[in-house]
């Protein structure tokens, strides 16, 4: 296991080094979906699981659990994700975000995040290792549709693996057990909040293409923020989205 982790981190480091030499305009790959046939099959599988299992549970969750309780659960899940934001903000040299996220994590640790003691006043930008790789100009890579995990760019999936390893190292065994329990809770919570959006995707002429377009646009905006308007593919994304409506 240790050798595997060493190889994994080495590969990521090499990828960052090579990507750092590229031009900023080359974040976007030309052949965005070379695995479309496989991706579509996985999307169909995920859609089936969502409709048969996740959606019924999520619908019951929204109906039966009071909104105040759901808000507390969401707050707790956000708090659990702060260590990743702190770690990646530090690597990205975003000092302000690092300080704010660290302060909020310690403050809300008094309630395990179930109650936001700063009442949402601290504006924190969520950071993950995928955004860190983007910071070092690593190309986003092809689009992937993963079983259960859903859509991700190759770069973001690599970042997801690293973030998962980091969380396992910075938390205690007890917290790791809690995290495993919270994975399905997080899925149900997010499904409830994104219900209208996901239903719109499913009801479109081509749900797979709609999902891919929706994910890629939102992910690029999240990763590049205000720099997104400089990316040459932005206008193409928007025109393509119009055709799907």
Q: By C-alpha distance, which of 170, 151, 167, 158 is closest to 134?
A: 158
Say whether 138 sits in a helix, a strand or coil: coil
- Pseudo-torsion of CA 89, 94, 97, 99, nearest 10°? 90
Quick one: how far is CA 107 from the chain centroid? 24
At residue 44, the pLDDT reads: 96
At residue 17, the pLDDT reads: 47
Cβ atoms within 10 A of the Cβ of 28, count? 17
**Per-residue pLDDT of the chain in tens (245 residues, 90 and over written 9):** 444 454 445 445 544 444 444 444 445 555 689 999 999 999 999 999 999 999 999 999 889 999 999 999 889 888 988 999 999 999 999 999 999 999 999 999 999 899 988 887 788 999 999 999 999 989 999 999 999 889 999 999 998 888 887 665 555 554 555 555 667 778 888 888 888 889 899 999 999 999 999 999 899 888 886 554 445 555 555 544 444 44
User: Looking up tokens 């975003």, which residue turns up?
Assistant: 94
Strand intervals (E) in the chain = 143-146, 150-153
pTM of the entire predicted model: 0.74
Tokens of 83: 């260590």
At residue 239, the pLDDT reads: 47
Angle, in degrees to the nearest 10, between helices 67-80 and 82-91: 40
Do residues 233 and 73 touch, judged by C-beta distance below 8 A? no
Measured between alpha carbons, how far is 145 from 212 in angstroms, rounded to an integer? 9
Measured between alpha carbons, how far is 195 from 180 in angstroms, rounded to an integer? 23
The number of residues in the chain equals 245
Long-range contacts of 194-197 (CB under 8 A, 24+ apart): 195/58, 195/62
What one-character DSSP code corresponds to residue 225?
Answer: G
Tokens of 8: 């994994």
At residue 111, the pLDDT reads: 92
- Pseudo-torsion of CA 104, 100, 129, 4, nearest 10°? -60
């Amino acid at each position: 296991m240790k050798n595997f982790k060493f190889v994994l981190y080495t590969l990521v480091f090499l990828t960052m080094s090579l990507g750092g030499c590229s031009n900023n305009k080359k974040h976007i790959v030309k052949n965005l979906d070379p695995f479309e046939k496989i991706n579509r099959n996985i999307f169909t599988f995920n859609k089936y699981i969502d409709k048969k299992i996740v959606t019924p549970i999520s619908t019951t969750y929204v109906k039966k659990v009071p909104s105040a309780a759901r808000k507390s659960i969401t707050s707790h899940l956000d708090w659990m994700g702060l260590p990743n934001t702190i770690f990646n903000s530090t690597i990205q040299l975003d000092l302000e975000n690092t300080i704010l996220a660290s302060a909020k994590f310690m403050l809300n640790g008094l309630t395990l995040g179930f109650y936001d003691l700063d009442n949402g006043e601290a504006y924190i930008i969520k950071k993950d290792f995928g955004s860190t790789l983007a910071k070092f100009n690593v190309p986003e890579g092809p689009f992937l549709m993963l079983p259960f995990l859903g859509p991700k760019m190759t770069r973001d999936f690599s970042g997801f693996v690293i973030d998962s390893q980091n969380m396992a190292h910075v938390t205690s065994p007890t917290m790791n057990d809690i995290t495993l329990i919270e994975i399905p809770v997080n899925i149900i919570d997010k499904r409830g909040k994104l219900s209208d959006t996901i239903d719109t995707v499913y009801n479109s002429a081509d749900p797979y293409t709609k999902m891919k377009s929706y994910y890629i646009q939102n992910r690029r905006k999240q990763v590049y923020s205000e720099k997104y308007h400089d990316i040459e593919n932005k206008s193409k994304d928007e025109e393509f989205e119009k055709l799907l409506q």
